[in-house]
Amino acid sequence: MRKQMVAGNWKMNLTLQEAIDLAEQIASRLKDSTEASTPIVLCPPAGYLQAVSSITKEIRGLYTGAQNCHQEVSGAYTGEISVAMIQSCGAEYVILGHSERRAYFHEDNILLSKKVKRALAQGLKVIFCCGETLPERESEKHFDLVKQQLQEGLFHLSEEEMSLITIAYEPVWAIGTGVTATKEQAQEMHAFIRSLLREIYANSVADNCSILYGGSCNPKNAKELFEQEDVDGGLIGGASLKAEDFLAIIHSL
């Protein structure tokens, strides 16, 4: 059985104290209700990883993740963060391939494949994002585009490595826009992604890979999205910055 999961991507928001307050509110409300088999992951800005992980590590099933990592082990890469640094702050996950990293920091599939490999080699679990822009969907290239992102970014991995990957389908046109993919659009793409996994890997890999939906997911629409057969949870942006909303989304699982 694959895991259901919700992750909050806090992006470049919050002061340190606001981040601590948010993590504490979420942790205290989840205290007795989380299951180790349903991971909840908080992904704060890099500078807050240690502070947030010192809170999440007290709660079973609650984890901290980074929003990016570098592909090299260490060295002269000013401003970057390595996998070992992330781990030394107590984080266990990293988001890679977010469309904002692709668009604003020119991260392409080849670079992302190296980052994925590095993260897994050093024991960090990866939430790998894929998703099309509006023009790509309107010109009906969305399936090909997502296929290419996964083929070039992920499908060099062994079956064992693939079992440490969570995929997040985040249509770019839905991110931060208030326009959510319909449950049919989400299910169609998630099923497509799972069928790709089935073509390349054993059935067990496809069956066990959690595929999250991201893009204007909120307490109102989370339940109908999460009820879809191939939607295993969400990667949440804006709504993860408010404890009430994030908790309501978690409880929609």
| Interface residues toward ligand 13P, by CB under 6 A | 9, 98, 170, 175-176, 214-217, 235-239
Buried b (16+ CB within 10 A) or exposed e, 167-188: bbbbbbbbbeeeebbebebbbb
* Nearest distance, CB of residue 73 and ligand 13P, angstroms: 26
User: Is 114:71 a contact under the CB 8 Å cutoff?
Assistant: yes
Minimum distance, C-beta of residue 50 to ligand 13P, in the bound complex (Å): 22
Q: Which is nearer to ligand 13P, 206 or 218 (CB)?
A: 218
Nearer to ligand 13P, 124 or 206 (CB): 124
Q: Which is nearer to ligand 13P, 170 or 230 (CB)?
A: 170
φ/ψ bin of 178: left (φ > 0), alpha (ψ from -120 to 50), beta (otherwise): left
Minimum CB distance to ligand 13P smaller for 186 or for 206: 186
Q: Write out the catalytic residue numbers.
A: 98, 170
Write down the least CB distance from residue 220 to ligand 13P, Å: 13
Task: Name the residue with tokens 């904002």.
Answer: 100
Least distance (Å) between residue 175 CB and ligand 13P: 4
Which residue has its beta carbon closest to ligand 13P? 237
